[in-house]
Amino acid sequence: MLESGPKGSSFNKIIAPGFSDDDKRVVLGDLKESFENPPKLEGELEKTPDEEKAIELANWITSQIIRSLGLDPLEIPSQNVKVLSTVEIGDRDYGGEMEPLRQILKLERSDSGLVTLVRTIHEMLHMKSFGAFQTLPDNSSGLDFNARSGLAIKSRDGFQQFFWRLNEAITEYLTRAAYHFVAQERKEVFSQELASTEESKRDVGKVVDDNGEDVPTDDIYFATTESGDLDGKSFVYRKERQVFDLLVSKLYERLKSVFESEDDVREQFYIAYFSGNNRVLAQMVDGSFGKGTFRKIGETRTAKEFERVVDLM
């Protein structure tokens, strides 16, 4: 079995029965080549200096996070990030996506440097997290590029995905922490937007989302006021992040003799997210709450199901 080495692309590993280690090395080498020579896209916009800065900071902070966990980060240069118009990129919930085949990140252009920063951090985390692709069995000649993405795992037939909710919870949890760090350490870069966001938030007070739920003010990272209403962006996957917090605090309650703080428990999830070693998490969860519990978390499809399973633990 070819051990996963340092990433030369978004992929650490290939799951392909019948491939020799040499074959796998060739494929990983080709992907590294794609990563190092990303294509120019039709409709790709020339980046503004502000966009270049936001991308550079997103790469810097995400690599810092990985290094702080004792792991080697993949550095993502600006040439792998493609800025596109809203029309070109199409309807994306998040304003960005990672494209494994061409080894690029696609971003929807925003007037806001903070929005560009946050979107880039989120997508870069996906690209820097543990990645594996797989050949699909028999009668399909297809390739599945999302066999592993962070903690998310696909079944061998490529049809089912596990731990998707937990994976996005962690991605956005880290995105939020990274944003707050950059906004603090490099506030001169975004000073105007940060100041006007704070002012807008103060003016408006309480904010509720489309579902009528309160949005915590420090979840809003960019805001403007238009005729008294707050228009802005807040961190996504809020429910998933809350459930992740609950999961961590429940684990910590059981494992106080092993870990010093909830942050130490959280770190185990981050290490698995970047290194691909989910087994440590499975042992930790199943050891505390019974065999099969980790799998149950993995099987949840919606945020509500994710919440129910963790609530009942």
Residue 167's alpha-carbon distances to 10, 72, 101, in angstroms, are 16, 20, 21
Residue number with CB closer to Zn ion (165 or 194): 165
Q: Closest approach of Cβ 168 to Zn ion, in Å?
A: 5
Residue number with CB closer to Zn ion (133 or 252): 133
Residue number with CB closer to Zn ion (123 or 307): 123
Residue number with CB closer to Zn ion (116 or 171): 171
CA dihedral 231, 235, 238, 244 (to 10 degrees): -170
Which of 69, 53, 90, 66 minimizes the C-alpha distance to 81?
Answer: 53
- Residue 205 tokens, joined: 């007070």
Cβ atoms of 11 and 24 closer than 8 Å: no
Residue number with CB closer to Zn ion (10 or 171): 171
Using CB under 5 A as the binding rule, the residues of this chain from 177 to 206 that contact Zn ion are none
Strand, helix or coil for residue 1? coil
Q: Closest approach of Cβ 173 to Zn ion, in Å?
A: 11
- Residue 77 tokens, joined: 């240069």
Q: Closest approach of Cβ 122 to Zn ion, in Å?
A: 6
Strand, helix or coil for residue 186? coil
Q: Closest approach of Cβ 198 to Zn ion, in Å?
A: 27
Q: Closest approach of Cβ 247 to Zn ion, in Å?
A: 18
Residue number with CB closer to Zn ion (135 or 171): 171
Using CB under 5 A as the binding rule, the residues of this chain from 149 to 178 that contact Zn ion are 171
b/e sequence 79-90, b meaning 16+ C-beta within 10 Å:
ebbbbbeeebbe
Distance CA 165, CA 298 (A): 8
Backbone φ and ψ for 147, nearest 5 degrees, come out as -55, -40
Q: Closest approach of Cβ 60 to Zn ion, in Å?
A: 20
Question: Applying CB under 5 A, what is the total number of residues that bind Zn ion?
Answer: 1
Sequence-separated (6 or more) residues with CB below 8 Å from residue 148: 12, 13, 15, 130, 131, 132, 154, 276
Residue number with CB closer to Zn ion (65 or 194): 65
Q: Closest approach of Cβ 22 to Zn ion, in Å?
A: 34
Which residues here bind Zn ion, judged by CB under 5 A?
171
